[in-house]
Amino acid sequence: MSENSRACLHLICHNSPVLKTGWERFKSHVQLDIPTAEKLLQLVTPSKIAQLNLCAEGLANTSYKVTFASHHPPIILRIYLREHSACQREFALHQLLKDKVSIAEIFYIDTSCSVIPYPFAVMEWVEGILMREVVLSGEEDAIQTCAFEAGKCLAVLRELRFQQSGFFQEDLTITPLSVSAESFCFAWLDNPEVSLGLGKLLCEALHQLVADHSSLYPSEQEVNLTHADYDPANILVKQVHQEWKIAAILDWEFAFSCSYLLDMGTFLRYSHRLPNYYEQAFCNGIETGKSLPPEWKKSIKLMDIGCLLSLLEHNPPEKSPKLHQDVVSLLQDTVTNWGKF
C-alpha cells in the first residue's frame, strides 16, 4: 500500500468526514410490505415477490431491491418522497441519456399516487458498488481508475448543451433561472438561519469572497446537462475483466441546465481530505474531451459554495447536526484555503 493510500485510511480511521458519510436523511424511509409492493408492480409483472430489501443508501428517496419467486430478474422500486414531479423528470432524463452514459433503465413509472401517496419508478437492478466504497478502501489503483472514468462521463455531459440555464420541467423544457449564481449565494447568506449557523465571521468572509470573485463564475451562455449531485455516493462501479468501470450514474432528480463546473465542484468537494491522485485522475478524465479553463479550481469552489449554502438552508443543526457541521467545515475550508486554489 502506498503512502497516499495509508493517508486516506488514516483519515477514515480517525472519523474525518468524507463523501457525505454520516449525513442524516432528509426524510424517513417509506416502509413497504410485500402485498403493497405487489400492488405497485402488478402492471409490470404478475410474479410473486420473494424478497423486498430496503436499500439504505441515499438521503431523500426510498428504494427497494425486489427479487421474485419466478425467473423474473430483480428490479429496483424507487419511491419519490421529496418532489412528486421528480419521477416524470427523471424518466425523461433517462430517455435522453440512455445511449450516452451508463444509467439504469427505467421500465415503468406511476405518478397517480393511488396505492401509496408518492410517485414511483420501476428500474433495472444494476450490479455494482458505490464508488464511495472504493474511495474509502484506500486502494490507489482502483480509486484512480474510478475517478478517471467518472471524469470521462462528465466530459460527455459537458457536451450536452442547452440554450439557457434553468430548471427542467417534466418534459425537459427549461424554466430560466431568475437570478445569477452569486445572487443565489447572497440570498442564502442573508437568510437568518443560514447566517446564524455559519457564524458572523464565516458568513462575512463568504460574502466578501463571492463578491470579489464573481467574474470567475461560468458564463451563463455555456450551459450543459448538469447532474447537480455528482459525487461517488451517486456513482455505481463494477469490475469488468479486472478493470473498474462505471456501472450506472444514479439519482438524476436534481439535474438542471447549468455548467459542468458545478458537477466538478461536487465531485471534488472533499479532495483536500483525499489523496492528490483522486483529483488528478478525475481531471484527466474530463480532459479526454476539452481542456479545463485556467482558473477552474476557483470556479468550481464558487459553484460549490452555493450548493453547500442551499444544504444549510434546508438542514438546520437541530434537524441534521452531522450534515450541518460537515457543511460548515467545508465552507470554512474553502475560505481558509482560497489562496491555494
What predicted TM-score, i.e. pTM, was given to this entire model? 0.93
61 touches 50 (CB < 8 A):
no
- pLDDT band at residue 3 using 50, 70 and 90 as cut-offs: low
Query: Quick check: 235 and 285 in contact, CB under 8 A?
Result: no
In this prediction, residue 13 carries a pLDDT of 40
What's the pLDDT tens digit per position in 262-277? 999 999 999 999 999 9
Q: Kindly state the average pLDDT of the residues 61-85.
A: 96
Residue 336 scores a pLDDT above 90: yes
Residue bearing cell 430489501? 53
Please check the confidence at residue 8 and state whether its pLDDT lies above 70: no
CA distance 41 to 45: 6
Query: Looking at the predicted structure, is the pLDDT value of residue 9 above 80?
Result: no
Q: What is the mean pLDDT of the chain?
A: 94
Contact predicate 102/249, CB 8 Å: yes
Rounded to an integer, the average pLDDT of 128-154 is 97
Tens-place pLDDT, residues 252-262: 999 999 999 99
Contact 167, 259 (CB under 8 A): no
pLDDT at 15: 56
Distances in whole angstroms, Cα of residue 126 to Cα of each of 45, 102, 236, 249, 310: 18, 10, 8, 10, 31
Report pLDDT for 58.
84
Given a cut of 50, is residue 248 above it in pLDDT?
yes
The full set of domains in the chain, from first to last, is 27-124 (3.30.200.20), 129-340 (3.90.1200.10)
Residues 193/314, Cβ–Cβ less than 8 Å: no
Residue 26 pLDDT level (bands cut at 50, 70, 90): confident
| C-alpha dihedral (2, 145, 267, 65), degrees to nearest 10 | -110
* pLDDT band at residue 1 using 50, 70 and 90 as cut-offs: very low
Per-residue model confidence (pLDDT) at position 16: 66
Residue length of the chain: 341
Q: What is the pLDDT, as a whole number, of residue 178?
A: 87
Flag whether pLDDT at 55 surpasses 50: yes
